[in-house]
Amino acid sequence: MPENKKEVRSIVILANPTMPEALAEGRKVQRALEKTHQVRTVLANIDDTAIRKRVTENEFDILIALGGDGTMLRAGHLAAPVGLPILGINLGRFGFLMQLRLDDWKAAVPRLLAGEYKLEHRMMLQAELLRGDAILQTLQVVNEAVVCRGKYVRPIRVVASVDGYVLASYVADGLIAATPTGSTGYALAANGPILPPELRNILIIPVAPHLSMEHAVVLPEGATVIFSHETDHEAVLSVDGHEPIHLEDGDRVRISSGAHTLKFVVFKDPGYFYRNLSLYMEQNPSRNGLK
């Protein structure tokens, strides 16, 4: 067993609270795990404050998330700081980040307990909101950090600098800084390239650029990117689809490689990413809605 895996003795199962079937399916997963008498389990909604505290205190060996990609993003923010591996079971319509479909998990339980899986390490980013010399907020990023227009349907001006040198000045609806994991999310919708998840790069892609550079830029892990926002109307910073943060004219967002790494539990061979990609491109399940 590789050194970054340890014996599984304690598992937390977190369900999407907006999906009643998630908690019901979680109970089935819990019963299947406890039948072996090898592990103790805890089942809760992902919003449960008491359970979230126990996760941050590094009480568990594996986190199982039931829901869609949004649930997986929230699980990632919770688990990454303590190095807790995550296994996703897809109950949503898309589920690109999830490892298992609903009909897969029963066969996967014995393999999980036997240590017959790999840990896929995925890069995260750190986004700092700067106002003058002050750092107002520091945020961890799984998919993407976006500086974009607010409620007014007008482009904003964002200057992107890399390691102190101006890369480009954009007039656009927004500018995305994405991880390889996030390259299949909002960045892909903005015509960005798809990066294999094990890469460690920073992807910069504009959203609806107007007479500006429209090509994506792929930067090395060690780069530091600054988005300088200049506009006389509303603009916001959004990280992984969370509540947007209002930006004032002159605010900057500094983006760099994060201190934490996501650990995804993977049962399939390395080609699974490309097979999933082909499947989702041909039969996009998000056409009927996202969860």
177 and 248 belong to one structural domain: yes
**Residue type at 177 in one-letter notation:** A
| pTM of the predicted protein model | 0.89
Concerning whether 163 is annotated as a catalytic residue, the answer is no
Per-residue pLDDT at 2 exceeds 60? no
Looking from the CA of 261 toward its CB, the CA atoms found within 13 Å total 14
- Which tens digit of pLDDT belongs to each residue from 103-128? 889 999 999 998 999 999 999 999 99
Catalytic residue among 61, 69, 133, 269: 69
Start-to-end C-alpha separation, the chain:
35
In-domain check, residue 173: yes
Q: Count structural domains, the chain.
A: 2
Q: In the prediction, which pLDDT does 268 show?
A: 73
255 and 170 belong to one structural domain: yes
Please enumerate, as own/partner, the contacts of 279-283 that have beta carbons within 8 Å and a separation of 24 or more: 280/94, 280/96
40 and 150 belong to one structural domain: no
Q: In the chain, how long is the greatest CA-to-CA distance?
A: 63
111 and 25 belong to one structural domain: yes
- Which tens digit of pLDDT belongs to each residue from 49-92? 999 999 999 999 999 999 999 999 999 999 999 999 999 999 97
164 and 135 belong to one structural domain: yes
Q: What is the CATH number of the domain that holds 111?
A: 3.40.50.10330
Q: CB atoms < 10 A from the CB of 281, how many?
A: 10
- Which tens digit of pLDDT belongs to each residue from 7-65? 889 999 999 999 989 999 999 999 999 887 678 999 999 999 999 999 999 999 999 99
250 and 276 belong to one structural domain: no
Contact at 8 Å (CB) between 64 and 89?
yes
Encode 91-154 in three state secondary structure.
CCCCCCCCCECCCCHHHHHHHHHCCCCEEEEEEEEEEEEEECCEEEEEEEECCEEEEEECCCCC
178 and 207 belong to one structural domain: yes
173 and 201 belong to one structural domain: yes
Instruction: Determine the structural domain holding residue 20 and report its residue range.
Output: 10-117+267-288
In-domain check, residue 59: yes
